[in-house]
Amino acid sequence: MKQMSLNRRSLLQAAAASLASFNPWAQVQAQDDFPARAIALWVPWPAGGASDITMRLLAELAGKHLGQKIVIDNRAGAGGTMAMPVLQQAAPDGYTIAQMPQPVFRAPHTQRVLWDPVRDSTPIIQISGVTFGVVVPTHSPFKKFDDLLAFAAARPGELSMAT
């Protein structure tokens, strides 16, 4: 086993490292406990709807966990995109959060908007997911999606659909 010896140079290096790690001018300031006040949760749908009810339940549970009230602010309209401009201008202090539906991410690709959801927001949790499907009447000859595609390919312009 190799024996280490502490020479003068090693001692000076250790002392310099110790002094460098203790710098009274660069002390870390203690932050206030978060949250110190209520948090605003922007919900881009009318009060009483499924999304609003879901967000109110989440706000109640999270508020109990955080020890602070989470206040729901419904901003309905514009296909669910009303909360994005508010969030975009909010201070990045965690006291303004918002539910972001899919139209917020789709809008920049279909119309001119003043936000970029990737640049102007950070997803922190997925609350719910909506899976869309294609349905036909039970008496339809289509039993699989491939049946529908084959029909559409064989008869261009004859198939109608609704959303």
Q: What is the per-residue pLDDT for 50? A: 87
Q: What is the structure's pLDDT at 10?
A: 58
Beta-carbon contacts of 85 under 8 Å, excluding residues fewer than 6 positions away, are 114, 115
Whole-structure pTM value? 0.60
Distance between CA atoms of residues 44 and 102, nearest Å: 11
**Residue 68 structural domain:** 39-120
Is residue 78 assigned to a domain?
yes
Average pLDDT per 10 consecutive residues for the chain, totaling 163 residues: 56 52 49 88 92 93 95 92 87 92 89 90 81 81 92 90 69
Is 155 contained in some domain?
A: no
User: What is the model's pLDDT at position 29?
Assistant: 53
Residue type for 98, please?
A
* Residue 95 located in a structural domain: yes
Number of domains in the chain: 1
CATH assignment of the domain containing 113? 3.40.190.150
109 part of a folded domain? yes
26 part of a folded domain: no
160 belongs to a structural domain: no
